[in-house]
């Protein structure tokens, strides 16, 4: 269970930049983070471990955007948000 979320500095800047991500994606990301706290196995997140990695996971924000994070015990280090073909 995720109890703490840490955003990478480049991602913080990306979320503040009005042009970096569509507003809809930012809003849905916030919704997803709330769900991650509640239950990181929630089916609507489509949360899964990235094959070939040890602690890297991803969840879908929209059909086109996903979030990549590193999971360390009860902490999620959110690394990137981007289009599926551009992230990881």
CA-to-CA distance for 75 and 2, rounded, in angstroms? 6
Res. 88: pLDDT tops 80:
no
pLDDT at 64: 95
Q: Which CATH class is domain 4-83?
A: alpha beta
Annotate the chain with DSSP letters as a single string: ---EEEE-HHHHHHHH-TTTS-HHHHHHHHHHHHHHHH-TT-GGGT-EEPTT-SSEEEEESSSSEEEEEEEETTEEEEEEEEETTT--
pLDDT at 87: 86
pLDDT tens-digit readout, 10-56: 999 999 999 999 999 999 999 999 999 999 888 999 999 999 999 99
Domain boundaries, the chain: 4-83
Query: Tokens for 24?
Result: 């809809």
Res. 69: pLDDT tops 80:
yes
pTM of this structure? 0.91
């Amino acid at each position: 269970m995720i109890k703490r979320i840490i955003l990478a500095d480049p991602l913080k800047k990306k979320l503040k930049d009005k042009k970096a991500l569509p507003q809809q994606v930012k809003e849905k990301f916030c919704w997803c983070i709330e769900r991650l706290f509640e239950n990181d196995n929630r089916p609507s997140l489509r949360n899964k471990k990235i094959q070939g990695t040890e602690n890297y996971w991803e969840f879908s924000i929209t059909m086109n955007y996903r979030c990549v994070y590193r999971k360390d015990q009860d902490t999620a280090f959110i690394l990137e948000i981007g289009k599926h073909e551009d992230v990881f």
